Amino acid sequence: MRLLGSATVLALLWLLMSGIYKPLVVGLGALSVALVLFVTRRMDAIDGDRPRLAFRPLATLGYLTWLLVEIAKANWAVSRLILSRTMPIRQMILDVPGSQATDLGRTLFANSITLTPGTISVETVEGENVIQVHAVAYDEGDHEALAEMGRRVSAIEAQRAG
Partner 1 sequence: MTASGGIVDVLSWIAIVGGSAFLVIGAVGLIRFPEFWSRLHAISVLDSAGVLLLLLGMGLQGGLSLVTVKLVILGLFLLITGPTATHAVANAAFVSGLRPPIRSEDRAAVAATAAAATREPPASDGGPASGPSG
List residues binding partner 1 (CB under 8 A): 16-17, 19, 71-72, 75, 78-79, 81-83, 87, 89-95, 110-112, 114-118, 120-123, 125-126, 128, 132, 134, 136, 138, 140, 143
- 35 vs 93, beta carbon nearer partner 1: 93
CB atoms within 10 A of CB 135: 17
- Least distance between partner 1 and beta carbon 7 (Å): 18
- Least distance between partner 1 and beta carbon 110 (Å): 7
- 8 vs 111, beta carbon nearer partner 1: 111
For residue 105, give every residue at least 6 positions away whose Cβ sits within 8 Å of its Cβ, in sequence order, or none. Answer: 54, 55, 153, 154, 157
Residue 131 CB burial class (10 angstroms; 0-12, 13-18, ≥19): buried
- 38 vs 87, beta carbon nearer partner 1: 87
What is each CA distance from 161 to 2, 3, 75, 108, 155, in whole angstroms?
Answer: 21, 25, 39, 21, 16
- 38 vs 65, beta carbon nearer partner 1: 65
- Least distance between partner 1 and beta carbon 162 (Å): 27
For residue 56, give every residue at least 6 positions away whose Cβ sits within 8 Å of its Cβ, in sequence order, or none. Answer: 156, 157, 158
- Least distance between partner 1 and beta carbon 67 (Å): 9
Strands 130-135 and 92-97: antiparallel
CB atoms within 10 A of CB 109: 23
- Least distance between partner 1 and beta carbon 78 (Å): 5
- 40 vs 124, beta carbon nearer partner 1: 124
Q: How far apart are CA 145 and CA 59, in angstroms?
A: 19
